[in-house]
Amino acid sequence: MTVAVLTGIAFVSVLGVMAGAARPRRSVGVADFHVAARTVPPWWNGAAITSESTSAAACLGTAGLIAIHGSPMLWYPAGAAAGFVVVLALVVAPLRRSGTYTLPDFAGWRLRSARLRRFTTAFVLLVGLAFLVAQFHAAGVVVRLLTGLPPWLGWAAVAGAALAVAYGGGAGSVTSVQAWQFWLKLVVFLGVGLVCWWAAGSWPVPWPEGAYRAGGAGLAGTGDPSLPGVLAVLLACALGTMGLPHVIVRVYTSKDGTGARRSIVAAQAMLAAFCVVPPLYGVLGHVHARDAAADEIVLLLPARMVPGAAGELLTGLLATGAFAAFLATAGGVLVAVGGAVAACVPGAGARAFRTAVPAVLAAALVLTAVSMPGVSVALVLLGLSLSAATLCPMLVLGIWWRRLTDAGVAAGFVLGGGVTGAFVLGEQVGVNPGALTSCPAPVAVPAAFAAMVVISLVTPGRLPQGVGFMMARMHLPERLARPPAYRSSRQDDRWS
């Protein structure tokens, strides 16, 4: 089994680096470097977006939660799909017309505040680190469980491949890698799952019954089988998707606004196809591997259901698909967050990007080393909850409400982020946050919206100049209101 697993890991890592390095590197502006020169076709962009969304949480954690807690967890895969509906309805067209391709860029442009831009970058960094640590921990689980080697080898494999892809060509490299990795993941996970289903030897396979009842929950409400808990997770996923830096930047990798909207629609269709995977493994795991930890259930199924060399081969294929998931998400987050951090250094260009990317990666590795490995979906949900309580209100109000001020956004960040942190800290020390749910989103999101609205209303003097022009630019059709020049159009902004 060890040979099959290591071969699969090496295959997907080397192929990912080669695919990323094949992108052209010369005579491309730094901004184009961050948004793949805005030349990605909608169906290819949709595959890349879906690949980022089907991360370690979808491949391992969600299926494990379904196996352990039963049918209430079946709603978890629907959260991301709902999030893309919200993004399509509220964000895609206005954000593209604004001409800003990162969340800090949007905050700085819309509120005319350099300080708020840096503050927004801090939350983008926190959300990105949560996603990166989730991928590294899940990679460590695969390596430790299937080969007996130290988990840090899994972290190193994903980190090294993601760094090579990011340096190879930025968003262009990552998009190429993510798109083909989506199809690899879909074929591998569906194929292995169907073989395991056939090997079960009985029809129908017993369904994991469950009920919406009060129960223990993990980090950020993960695994809470109560109805309020499930609804809270859906809220965090639906609104948190809007503020994910590696999703928002995809608005600009298409040629125009129509292509961007078609990319999101394509991502929804592909995500719907992949949503079959967690229930498939969850049902099988409920019967054959329920005694294992949530992150380990999917990995243990082939060996338990198909004995001998065939089971080892299937396990190796699963390891290949899992590392494709880790690399796809890690690469996308690394480029998006690294680009946002680098943009805080005026005039630094490609040099700042080269410095920011390894710095973000190093911070994620340090956090992985000092944190306890757990359910990967919990870390992803933590990132989504923080995004929903901070970046989502800033985007929604910034796009649709002209009276928003920088002071209001800062207050919303502090309150939304503070409530989220308080809930998570209370869960860690054993404090029950209340009968509603242990997930912070139902409390933190309304609090953040309210703070932004109230503080904006009491600070009308901080309303940015030209707000009417900015609102018109975001909401008029593209043919009537051309976006401001992208930074890639500047002659001194070159990558070579």
Which of 169, 168, 166 lies closest to 28, judged by CA? 169
Tens digit of each residue's pLDDT (9 = 90 or more) over 445-475: 999 999 999 999 999 999 998 999 999 988 8
Instruction: Give the predicted TM-score (pTM) of the model.
Output: 0.88
pLDDT at 107: 93
Amino acid present at 230: V
pLDDT at 233: 87
How far is the CA of 314 from the CAs of 80, 241, 307, in angstroms? 28, 32, 10
Task: Let me know if 215 is exposed, middle or buried by CB neighbors in 10 A (0-12, 13-18, 19+).
Answer: middle
What is the token pair recorded at 30?
């730094």
Helix or strand holding residue 382 (H, E): helix 376-389
1-5: list long-range contacts, CB under 8 Å, 24+ apart: 1/146, 1/147, 1/303, 1/312, 1/315, 1/316, 2/146, 2/147, 2/148, 3/316, 4/312, 4/313, 4/315, 4/316, 4/319, 5/142, 5/143, 5/146, 5/147, 5/315, 5/316, 5/319
pLDDT at 170: 56
pLDDT at 269: 87
Residue ranges, the chain, pLDDT below 50: 24-27, 30, 36-37, 435, 483-496
pLDDT at 446: 96
Alpha helices in 241-296 (DSSP H): 245-248, 257-274, 277-288
pLDDT at 403: 95
Domain range summary for the chain, segments of one domain joined by +: 2-377
The separation between CA 13 and the C-alpha centre of its own chain, rounded to angstroms, equals 20
The answer to whether 278 and 62 have CB atoms below 8 angstroms apart is yes
DSSP 200: T
Architecture (CATH level 2) of domain 2-377: Up-down Bundle (1.20)
Task: Let me know if 282 is exposed, middle or buried by CB neighbors in 10 A (0-12, 13-18, 19+).
Answer: buried
Q: Rg (Cα) of the chain, in Å, rounded?
A: 22
Amino acid present at 205: V
The answer to whether 81 and 238 have CB atoms below 8 angstroms apart is no
Tens digit of each residue's pLDDT (9 = 90 or more) over 376-409: 788 888 999 999 999 999 999 999 999 999 999 9
pLDDT at 252: 72
